[in-house]
Amino acid sequence: MTERIRASARSGKGDPFAAAVRATRMAMIITDPRQIDNPIIYANDAFLRLTGYTRLEVMGRNCRFLQGPGTDLDTVARLRAAIRSERDVSAEVLNYRKDGSTFHNALFISAVHDEDGTLLFFFASQLDVSERHALAEERDRTRAALDANALLLREIGHRARNDLQMIAAMLSLQSRNSTDPAVRAALDEAIGRVDALGALYRQPVPEDERVGHDLGDLVREIAQTLVEASGRNDIAVTYDLAPFRIRPKAAGSLALIVNEVVSSAIRHAFPSRAGRLILRLARDGEALIVTVEDDGIGATAAGGGFEATLIDALIRQIGGTNRIQPRNPLGKVVELRFPAGHIEV
């Protein structure tokens, strides 16, 4: 059998297996470990095409001539150890063609023993996986760029949050130092607005701009902050929030709008008794609907005031509309409609 392989390796004729090895597009070689330095005794055409050498140039040489300065030495040591102990081994190794160009070689080496366990040959196949490598490297680079971006976003978010906290602290100091109740009320409203914007930065920063903010989380956070800040423990809030991911660009306006509508309800709807607020997010075809419902006395802010003007301006800014209806039997429903296409990610 040994002689048969040696002969067919030499001539490459007569044996159907040898014919298949010769014709395949997979590069293949056979080496002879009984000769000094385990030289190549057979190389198929695919191996010659892959490496750019002629048959004459490769026959009789150990395969390490394919290696070069960029080849990983640990991988070579692993190959050496496996070959020495006559084990099969696979590895990806950087190899060099005759013209000096490189390729990533997915190498598989198998030790061929006879029935008595005596080592006869090594058989190897070589596959050029450079393209897959390039893709993996590209993916790693993209991942690294995204990581850097996310880090930057977190840092910016952190700074913005600190700045907003500082503004709120300054307004609060100003409010405490004022004896005029109207000035104090105006400053406290301004603090509420700064807090609403702050809610954007208290949420986890999205890894990627395209992921956007969860509007439900934002609504919940703003409403909770407002109820806590009002000092009223007789206002219950319930939520019915459909999932919506909104663009960072629209998030600031929406946070302020929700802040205004909810704080207005807290201020005007239940002046002297307990109450209930229901906040809803729903989809109606192409529209995102935000509803703030209360069971209060039905009052709203006086028309034409700053509060109403601000709400109108913010709603218009993102293409929305605003409708207030009485609620049966008590209270009112503020319904805000926004074109989902403008604000959803």
Ligand X SMILES: Cc1cc2nc3c(=O)[nH]c(=O)nc-3n(C[C@H](O)[C@H](O)[C@H](O)COP(=O)(O)O)c2cc1C
Residues that bind ligand X (CB under 6 A): 29, 31, 38, 62-64, 66-67, 76, 79-80, 83, 93, 95, 105, 107, 109, 122, 124, 126
Query: Do 54 and 48 contact (CB within 8 A), yes or no?
Result: yes
- Shortest Å, Cβ 129 to ligand X: 12
| Least distance from ligand X to the Cβ atom of residue 77, Å | 7
Cβ-based nearer residue to ligand X, 126 or 253: 126
- Give Cβ neighbours of residue 48 (< 8 Å, ≥ 6 apart): 54, 55, 58
User: Which residues touch 239 (CB under 8 Å, ≥6 apart)?
Assistant: 216, 219, 220, 223, 278, 279, 280
CB of 98 to ligand X, least distance (A): 14
183 to 167, 186, 341: CA distances (angstroms): 17, 5, 40
Least Å distance between CB 52 and ligand X?
13
Nearest-angstrom CA–CA distance, 51 and 265 = 77
Give the nearer residue to ligand X in terms of CB position, either 124 or 311: 124
Between residues 126 and 300, which has the closer beta carbon with respect to ligand X? 126
Tell me the CA distances in angstroms from 281 to 27, 244, 299, one per residue in order.
Answer: 62, 8, 23
Nearer to ligand X, 60 or 305 (CB): 60
Nearer to ligand X, 52 or 204 (CB): 52
For residue 345, give the DSSP letter: -
Closest distance to ligand X from the beta carbon of 200 (Å): 55
We find the least distance from the C-beta atom of residue 80 to ligand X, in angstroms, to be 4
How many angstroms separate the CA atoms of 111 and 33, rounded? 10
* Nearest approach, Cβ of residue 70 and ligand X (Å): 11
Q: Of the two residues 124 and 218, which places its CB atom closer to ligand X in the complex?
A: 124
DSSP classification of residue 328: S
Taking the least distance from each CB to ligand X, the nearer of 32 and 293 is 32
Q: What is the number of residues in the chain?
A: 345
- Least separation in angstroms between residue 127's CB and ligand X is 10
Q: Tell me how crowded residue 3 is: count the other CB atoms within 10 A of its CB.
A: 7
Rounded to whole angstroms, the Cα distance separating 235 from 237 reads: 7
Please count the other Cβ atoms lying within 10 Å of the Cβ belonging to residue 273: 10
Residue whose CB is less far from ligand X, 79 or 262:
79
Closest CA to 66 of 121, 18, 29, 120: 29
